[in-house]
Structure 1
Amino acid sequence: MNKAFFSIQRLIILGIFAVIPLLTHAQRRPSNIISPEVLSDNSVIFRLKAPNAHAVEVSGTWPSSLFKNNIPMIKKDSVYEVQVGPLPSDMYEYEFIIDGIPTLDPNSSMVTRDGAWIQNRLMIPGTQADTYDEKNVPHGDLKALWYNSPSLGAERRMFVYTPPNYDKSKKNYPVLYLLHGGGGDEEVWLSRGRANYIIDNLIASGKAEPMIVVITNGNPLTPAAPLDRPASMQNKLPVGINSMASGKFEESLVKDVIPYIEKNYRVIADADHRAITGFSMGGYQTQNITNSNPTKFKYIGVMSMGLFSTFRNDGGYNKEEHIKQLKELQKNNPKVYWVAMGKQDFLYDSAIKLKALYDGIGFKYTYRENEGRHDWNAWRLYLSEFSQMLFK
């Protein structure tokens, strides 16, 4: 073995020993410390008992135009504390940073996951949070199921949401196919996206049509979320989003997922009753799927993504072919083609270029821009808005 190997091994060991003291510096349950504490004006007090820590910050997804994303906490005796806010009504993710190392809030069991990102959840009451919260309304059923994907040569897992009273009726329903971003899996739209509660609440208020929602795993190399993969696959999968941009998932959704849903669920199996949307990489995949299958979907939503599709086997971009596909798609006259992008999103410029392409060829679309970044505050908002446009 070479010196590089031993250097890496030494760094890993040193890293482990560096983390152990920090874990002992922060409190462990049970504790009488309240964190987070949401006050009547929607300000929030964060607290962490960490007597031996040198510096603690709280990092959150609150609007950067109002507050810093990383806010230093003040030590009072052995407890670090800070008040943030008032915050706009919404759902946020946050974590503590102890001497430079991110950690969860040990006083909160509200934890969500997006791929390897595991953070605490903070719900600030009000109109926006009401859309995401579990309410006393009729709930749809949510089922995790395995299906065969000949296109990928594997058994794969997805979630299917059926609207309230689906099992008691004989009605056929429209379907929304909901795609996640790079590094995610089929659980993220439920854990962090609150998709089933958003749809429940909008159906109950009459703002959305009852629909089936299909939430897939967009990584063609993984059959399921981490805890539902074979143990032999753990820590042996490539890191990054390259596999999700290969075009393999797009093929499997059209050839495997849609036929499975239309065979096993009571659906209205035509383009007028099919919708598809996704954020980031899922927005890229949405473009690929609808550009290549112009008669499949009448409702299309591209969230936080403006990068153009690729069409050559070598991964290059063929503008002529892209425009040809877009014109075929336009002939099918989508009822909704919706592009949503945050002004502070790092992909903002790509959306401007996508708009320029669409405007240049007369492709019809609706553009929605908001104050926001490339994060779940935007994607939950987009789903709550897009789902209200469907199947009207």
Structure 2
Amino acid sequence: MNRKFFITSMLALATLPLSAQWIRTSTPNDTLRSVRSLGNGNVVLSIYAPEAKTVSIGGDIMPWGKKLDVRRADNGVWSVVVPEVKDGVYRYHFVVDGVNVYDPKSPTAGETSALAFIGSGKEFYAMKQVPHGAVARRYYESKNLKMTRRLHVWTPAGYEKSTDKLPVLYLIHGGGDTDNAWPGVGAAGFILDNLLAEDKIKPMIVVMPNGSIPTQDLEGEVPLFEEDLVKSVIPFIESNYRVMADKDHRAMAGLSMGGMETLETMLKDYDKFAYFWVLSSGWFANNKQAYANYQQQLNNISRNFNKGVRQLVFTQGGPEDIAYRNGKAMLRLFDKAGIKYEYTEAPGGHTWYTWRNNLYQLAQRIFK
């Protein structure tokens, strides 16, 4: 059978490896603000394109019938002042040497990648002719962060006409991503639709929160998310959806950085969940003080943890997974504490190829 190539424009962002580090030369792009309001109706739009020959601007923000000059500074930043811009929401893009370029510095830039669906259309993550659930974009107030935040929620086909209360899986993305990753490049909605149509999973609600919180370091971000999840996300879901609001009907899974957030939640809130899946993740093995603290915490909770948690599963994308060494080293702490767990690995590395398969597997095992 000939393989088909599907390209669909959807909001998505490829996950950045949690532990990836590199050294590069700084550029003006590092501190560039691509959209600046001067406060008098004038707005400055800028893009760093040092090798470009020509740059122009397109979109609703540009005055109709007028051509504005975009000028290049010596540092390679091209800028234009758009006059008389009223308060509102505008579409815009740069045209660099004749090619439309969406603003790489925009806060929404990470969600404008196209997705390439490559395959026969019969894969477990493909959109098939089955009843489809709904993926909703929801906003809630975070008590600890004191801001409005976004999450995505998958509800199964038929949920709207049903009166049944359902269990909930909280599914977390990796570092550099947002809550749009699992329903986008993760194809979570299609995976769950197909599994439910094949009667391979129990009807459930899947909540995909935003695990990314602007902080100075990962050590600060992870506990902030755990607090947000417990104090704001879970109460929001249980107030707005028909769910079974007890630990036996809650599960949590996270990949990479989301795995770190799953681990943090496990340590502090293991009595609120019956299922934990940690995907391609592990505590950093070179931090001896943190390792000692984790060992103590695991020792303290081990007895009650083993009694109350039905599943604790660790998965890795094989030795090529960048989290592989950290993950394997971390498991020795669980062994010493006597905490029961399962461990699996399969080729695929630290990629969505691995994590889509993880979701396919874990969804079939929880709430049964």
Task: Pick the TM interval, shorter chain.
Answer: 0.5 to 0.7
> How far 1:306 sits from its partner (Å)?
1.6
| 2:90 corresponds to | none
How much is the aligned-residue C-alpha RMSD, in angstroms?
A: 3.2
Structure 2 unaligned runs (5+)? 1-25, 33-45, 55-98, 102-107
Q: Deviations over 1:235-281 (max 9, x none)?
A: xxx78756533x11110100111111111111011111100001000
| Structure-2 separation of matches of 1:320 and 1:183 | 28
Paired position in structure 1 for 2:313: 338
* Runs of 5+ consecutive residues of structure 1 not aligned to the other structure: 1-6, 22-103, 107-112, 222-237
1:330 and 1:374 map into 2 onto residues whose CA distance is 28
Equivalent residue for 2:119? Answer: 124
Q: What is the correspondence of 1:67-216 to structure 2 with a 5 Å cutoff?
A: 115=110, 118=113, 120-125=115-120, 130-216=123-209
Measure how far apart 1:125 and its partner are: 2.1
Contact 1:294–1:328, Cα closer than 8 Å, also in 2: no
| Aligned partner of residue 212 in structure 2, secondary structure | coil
Tell me the equivalent position of 1:37. Answer: none
- Asked if structure 1 preserves the Cα contact closer than 8 Å seen for 2:271 and 2:305, the reply is no
Matched to 2:283, the amino acid is: L
Aligned partner (choices 251, 254, 260) of residue 227 of structure 2 = 251
Q: Alpha carbons of 1:204 and 1:150: their partners in 2 closer, same or farther (altered >3 Å)?
A: same
The number of residue pairs the alignment matches comes to 276
How far apart are the structure 2 equivalents of 1:323 and 1:123? 42
Name the TM-score, length of structure 1 as normaliser: 0.63
Higher relative contact order (CA 8 A, sep 6+): 2
Give the TM-score normalised by the residue count of structure 2.
0.67
Aligned AA (1:275): A
Q: Which amino acid aligns with 1:292?
A: K
Residue aligned with 1:378, SS? helix
More displaced 10-residue stretch of structure 1: 355-364 or 286-295: 355-364
SS at 2:210 equivalent: coil
The answer on whether the counterparts of 1:219 and 1:243 sit within 8 Å (CA) in structure 2 is no
Within a 5 Å distance, the mapping from 1:1-392 to structure 2 comes to: 8-9=27-28, 16-18=49-51, 115=110, 118=113, 120-125=115-120, 130-221=123-214, 241=218, 244-245=221-222, 247-307=223-283, 318-328=293-303, 330-343=305-318, 344-392=320-368
Tell me the percent identity. 36
State the alpha-carbon separation in 2 of the partners of residues 8 and 206 from structure 1.
53
Q: CA separation of 1:157/1:325 partners in 2, compared to 1, >3 Å: closer, same or farther?
A: farther
Compared with structure 1, are the counterparts of its residues 132 and 240 closer, same or farther at alpha carbon in structure 2 (3 Å cutoff)?
A: farther
Shift of 1:316: 7.7
